[in-house]
Chains A and B, each alone.
Chain A
Amino acid sequence: MNVTTRDIDGTMVVRVQGRLDTATAPSLETTCSELIESGAKRIVVEMAQLEYLSSAGIRVVLASAKRMQAGGGRLTVCGAEGMVLEALQLSGIPEIIPVCPTLDDALDEA
């Protein structure tokens, strides 16, 4: 999995590509932890190029969102399609974390 980070008007956009599962989730967890520790208040996890999302990946996204909330910040997910979006919906994530169709929607939301 490839994880890249960029700053768009104060919102940290974390783009994940490939698979987000047991083997790769620690990479996303580390990135989000570093951003939270550096004081980021708005994080968008962009999943447009994510091929596969497992229960382990969902757990890491949820844990990062909880840490953000605890610090007064907000984590948003965007761009998920096909089976990745299906996994998010089946796990009930949209009830806890905002899930937006596009990055622009997520930036507005954040």
Chain B
Amino acid sequence: MATRPAGLTYSVDEAPPPWISAVLGLQHLCVVAISFVLPVVVIREMGGTHEQAEFMVNMSMLAAGIGTVLQALPRGPIGSGYLCPMVCGPSYLTASLVAAQAGGLSLVCGMTAFAALIVTFTSRIMHHLRVLFPTEVVGLVVAMVGITVLKLAVTNFVGLDEAGRVSGPENLVVGVVTLATICILNVWGRGFPRLACVVIGMAVGYALAWAMGLLTAEHGAEMASARWVAFPFTEHPGFAFDPGLVVPFVVAAICSLLKNVGDITTCQKINDADWQRPEMGNISKGMLADGLGCLTAGLVGGHGLSGSSSNVGLSVATGATSRSVGYITGGMLMVMAFCPKLSAVFAIMPGAVIGAALLFAVSFMVIAGIEILASRMLDSRKTIVVGLSLLAGLSVDMLPGAVEQTPAWAHPLLHSSLSTATIAVVILNLLFRIGIKRHAEVVVSSEEDAGQAVFDFFGTHGGRWAARRDVVQRARSAAAQLIEAVMDHRLSDGPITLDVAFDELNLSVNVSYNGRAISLPERAPAAAELLERDSASLELAGYLVRHYADASTAECRDGRCQIRLDFAHA
């Protein structure tokens, strides 16, 4: 059961009043809208028409709306239940560009649907893939997601043109005023101004951009000429598949997958004051919603989608994580998909306003990633894994010339700091797991204080292995209770062996002895029975042991009894 963080104005289960929900939904829509520049870039690079761009943007909106609603569903097999809107995923951009140039929009649709199927399938086997993304890997990916967006944010914020020159002071002024408005309202604002700081700041940015000539009558005419209602399904380009593009789209799916793990982990963390570790069942359902949202995009003709880290950052910043805002944001996106006039408001968004909103949201995302990283004790192995991967990712942005000189087959792997860091951290994490398993053993005899022996044993090895304190305490209590019960009820004929193994993901406790079996019942005896029958005390002991462990097995063969208790340590 999650503990509500005190700093939230509206937690995930709380529904704000309708008009506040509408403003919050609009605010998230503003941030989501920024990502719709990606399908425009894809169409522009393949030499497509304005109508094709409008079609792909509208279909991306429709799919993002459906995916956002699916993600917010709190019950059933689909959806994490969190406010985590879907956007056009940057991790799909490079692969989509290659597909668009090689086979047009039909190939983009087909390959996007293929990548989405990978994400959807992977969501069903997430529990078996836990080894791939321990907490420190997730933390790095979350931080890198923010860092990856930095280039886009700063380019827009200062108004850099294609040659890398600042286009003029007006852009910077609009960006600084927009960002300052957002930050001032967020830090010193109370109530509604704080909740709606981004949408208010962006409105100020639009007005200032109009006053300074960044928005012109031409932009107004563009909005005026847009249709109120349009149903563009008849323009669907069809589907195509190219085996040669499997690798870049698989890489895109993996990056999107890990990014989504990071996003949902962040959602779990910001909605639970007592958060300890990623909850894999919830992540699996969230991944399924992401996969289905992206699959919808591929089928209807949109850009590849993934969860929006910027929006998660926005919900942290405003203190409103209500899932009802997710429903409203999703609904707004679906309406906008059929209303080009509304989407045109976002289409003319000044670059400086885009940059300011992104910088604000991304700063929270980067810090969220660092916090997840800092929640684990980083020994030299983890430091090498995380540190080298971080540097590998940053080097892509700092030394773009070096990446250009790599073989063509490597470009999909190195196209962004996010993909490079993600691939590096996954490979290094697996590599450095070699020889990671450690174990220790102690034999406890009936003459000694069993509880003290177990406490001393875990005190020594838990600290030496840098295992999480809460997991060690749980394992220690289970082992002490088990051995105490076996001795008290004379189930063992001799000494009891306690063997503990630890491999970063799991702490397993094995207790073995010669004698009679102990049962680990699913139900506790009634408390009143504890004084009435001696066996009730043994039943309570077995029940406590079973409850403390995440998984347990007990068996006796030829008089040798073995009890194994597993404790997750992600």
Q: Cβ of B544: which chain A residues have Cβ within 8 Å of it?
A: 54-55, 87, 90-91
Total number of B residues with any Cβ neighbor in A under 8 Å:
29
Q: Is B402's CB within 8 Å of the partner chain A?
A: no
- 11 pairs, CB–CB < 8 Å, chain A vs chain B: A21-B451, A22-B484, A23-B452, A51-B455, A54-B484, A55-B481, A55-B530, A55-B540, A56-B488, A59-B531, A62-B530
Q: Cβ of A58: which chain B residues have Cβ within 8 Å of it?
A: 530, 540
Q: Is B527's CB within 8 Å of the partner chain A?
A: yes
A52 and B524 form a contact (CB under 8 A): no
Cα A23 to Cα B538 with chains together (Å) = 16
B480 and A21 form a contact (CB under 8 A): yes
B459 to chain A minimum Cβ distance, whole angstroms, is: 11
- Over the window 79-94 of chain A, the binary record of Cβ atoms lying under 8 Å from chain B Cβ atoms (1 yes, 0 no) is 0001100010011110
Selected contact of B481 from candidates A24, A54, A66, CB within 8 Å: A54
B507 to chain A minimum Cβ distance, whole angstroms, is: 15
B487 and A22 form a contact (CB under 8 A): yes
A53 to chain B minimum Cβ distance, whole angstroms, is: 9
Q: Is A63's CB within 8 Å of the partner chain B?
A: yes
Q: Cβ of A66: which chain B residues have Cβ within 8 Å of it?
A: 531
- Of all chain A residues, the one with the shortest Cβ separation from B474 is A83
Q: Is B449's CB within 8 Å of the partner chain A?
A: yes
Q: Is B477's CB within 8 Å of the partner chain A?
A: yes
Q: Is A8's CB within 8 Å of the partner chain B?
A: no
Cα A58 to Cα B537 with chains together (Å) = 9
B residues 481-495 touching A (CB-CB < 8 Å): 481, 484-485, 487-488
B527 and A83 form a contact (CB under 8 A): no
Cα A54 to Cα B489 with chains together (Å) = 14
B473 to chain A minimum Cβ distance, whole angstroms, is: 6
Selected contact of B527 from candidates A24, A62, A82, CB within 8 Å: A62
Q: Given A22-B451, A55-B537, A90-B544, do A62 and B531 touch, yes or no (CB 8 Å)?
A: yes
- Of all chain A residues, the one with the shortest Cβ separation from B529 is A92
A94 to chain B minimum Cβ distance, whole angstroms, is: 9
Interface residues of B (CB under 8 A from A): 449-452, 455, 473-474, 476-477, 480-481, 484-485, 487-488, 524, 526-528, 530-531, 537-538, 540-541, 543-544, 547-548
A59 and B488 form a contact (CB under 8 A): no
Q: Cβ of A55: which chain B residues have Cβ within 8 Å of it?
A: 481, 484-485, 530, 537-538, 540-541, 544
Selected contact of A83 from candidates B473, B485, B543, CB within 8 Å: B473
Interface residues of A (CB under 8 A from B): 19, 21-24, 51-52, 54-56, 58-59, 62-63, 66, 82-83, 87, 90-93, 95-96
Closest 6 CB pairs of A and B: A92-B527, A55-B541, A55-B540, A21-B451, A23-B449, A83-B477
Cα A83 to Cα B458 with chains together (Å) = 16
Q: Is the interface of A mostly helix, strand, loop or mixed?
A: helix
Q: Given A59-B537, A82-B473, A96-B528, do A23 and B451 touch, yes or no (CB 8 Å)?
A: yes
A36 to chain B minimum Cβ distance, whole angstroms, is: 16
B455 and A52 form a contact (CB under 8 A): yes
B240 to chain A minimum Cβ distance, whole angstroms, is: 57
Cα A51 to Cα B538 with chains together (Å) = 21
B480 and A95 form a contact (CB under 8 A): no
Q: Cβ of A54: which chain B residues have Cβ within 8 Å of it?
A: 451, 480-481, 484, 541, 544
- Of all chain A residues, the one with the shortest Cβ separation from B534 is A59
Selected contact of A52 from candidates B477, B531, B538, CB within 8 Å: B477
Q: Given A22-B484, A83-B473, do A90 and B449 touch, yes or no (CB 8 Å)?
A: no
- Of all chain B residues, the one with the shortest Cβ separation from A92 is B527
- Having A54-B484, A62-B531, A91-B540, one finds 11 other A-B pairs with CB under 8 Å, namely A19-B451, A22-B451, A23-B451, A52-B451, A52-B480, A54-B544, A55-B481, A55-B530, A55-B540, A59-B530, A83-B473
Cα A90 to Cα B451 with chains together (Å) = 20
Q: Given A22-B484, A52-B477, do A63 and B537 touch, yes or no (CB 8 Å)?
A: no
Most buried by A among B476, B484, B537: B484
Q: Cβ of B476: which chain A residues have Cβ within 8 Å of it?
A: 52
B450 and A23 form a contact (CB under 8 A): yes
Q: Cβ of A23: which chain B residues have Cβ within 8 Å of it?
A: 449-452
B477 to chain A minimum Cβ distance, whole angstroms, is: 5
A75 to chain B minimum Cβ distance, whole angstroms, is: 14
Selected contact of A95 from candidates B473, B487, B527, B530, CB within 8 Å: B527
Q: Cβ of B526: which chain A residues have Cβ within 8 Å of it?
A: 92
A21 and B474 form a contact (CB under 8 A): no
Q: Cβ of B538: which chain A residues have Cβ within 8 Å of it?
A: 55
A28 to chain B minimum Cβ distance, whole angstroms, is: 14
Cα A82 to Cα B530 with chains together (Å) = 23
Q: Cβ of A21: which chain B residues have Cβ within 8 Å of it?
A: 451, 480, 484
Q: Cβ of B540: which chain A residues have Cβ within 8 Å of it?
A: 55, 58, 91
Q: Cβ of A56: which chain B residues have Cβ within 8 Å of it?
A: 484, 488, 537
Cα A54 to Cα B541 with chains together (Å) = 7
- Of all chain B residues, the one with the shortest Cβ separation from A53 is B477
- Of all chain B residues, the one with the shortest Cβ separation from A83 is B477
B235 to chain A minimum Cβ distance, whole angstroms, is: 60
B163 to chain A minimum Cβ distance, whole angstroms, is: 61
A3 to chain B minimum Cβ distance, whole angstroms, is: 16
Q: Cβ of A24: which chain B residues have Cβ within 8 Å of it?
A: 451
Most buried by B among A24, A54, A93: A54
Q: Cβ of A95: which chain B residues have Cβ within 8 Å of it?
A: 527
Q: Cβ of A96: which chain B residues have Cβ within 8 Å of it?
A: 527-528
Q: Cβ of B541: which chain A residues have Cβ within 8 Å of it?
A: 54-55
A97 to chain B minimum Cβ distance, whole angstroms, is: 9
Cα A22 to Cα B537 with chains together (Å) = 12
Cα A23 to Cα B449 with chains together (Å) = 6
Cα A96 to Cα B532 with chains together (Å) = 15
A9 to chain B minimum Cβ distance, whole angstroms, is: 29
Cα A51 to Cα B455 with chains together (Å) = 10
Q: Cβ of B530: which chain A residues have Cβ within 8 Å of it?
A: 55, 58-59, 62, 91
Selected contact of A91 from candidates B450, B474, B527, B531, CB within 8 Å: B527
B552 to chain A minimum Cβ distance, whole angstroms, is: 15
A90 and B527 form a contact (CB under 8 A): no
Cα A83 to Cα B549 with chains together (Å) = 12
